[in-house]
Amino acid sequence: MYLIKPCPTCGKKLRFPINKGKVVVKCVCGNSFIADPDDSLLYEGGNFDLKPPKKNKQKKHEAKYLKKNLIEKIYSIKYKLQNYKILPAAEQKKIISILIIIASLIAILAVIIFSFSAFSTAKNNSLVI
Ligand SMILES: [Zn+2]
């Protein structure tokens, strides 16, 4: 946290931390003073700097964010599966329907593979005959 207070000599606004104990605040005019956060006089004529910290370059961090988001999603799925019994019925139905879709996709794939292999075996047999 920072305090903004005018320099007692020149009046220029100075910004300094108040959560790091006693600090020496130096002004461009050459004046310096010790800011003691425990001294209530320090806060006279000062304002707290409540501005949120500057946002990082978002676009640069977007990829990182997406990756983090994906990991969080995976973890939430893991959590849901682990706590399946205590989930609300709507969530349970959702999970079951997703599992059924995945299972049916695997089944379809298996049928396709099986029919292909059966077809090729039949072809080979006919060649033998
Ligand atoms: Zn000054």
Question: Does pTM top 0.85 for this prediction?
Answer: no
128 pLDDT higher than 60: no
Å from CA of 53 to ligand 1 middle: 25
Å from CA of 35 to ligand 1 middle: 14
Å from CA of 17 to ligand 1 middle: 17
Instruction: Give the pLDDT confidence of 90-101 residue by residue, as tens digits.
Output: 888 988 999 999
Å from CA of 5 to ligand 1 middle: 11
Q: Position 85: which residue type?
A: K
> Can you read off the two tokens belonging to residue 93?
């139905």
3 state DSSP class of 34: strand
Is-contact 25 14, C-beta < 8 A?
Answer: yes
3 state DSSP class of 84: helix
Distance of alpha carbon 124 from alpha carbon 115, whole angstroms: 14
Is-contact 14 4, C-beta < 8 A?
Answer: yes
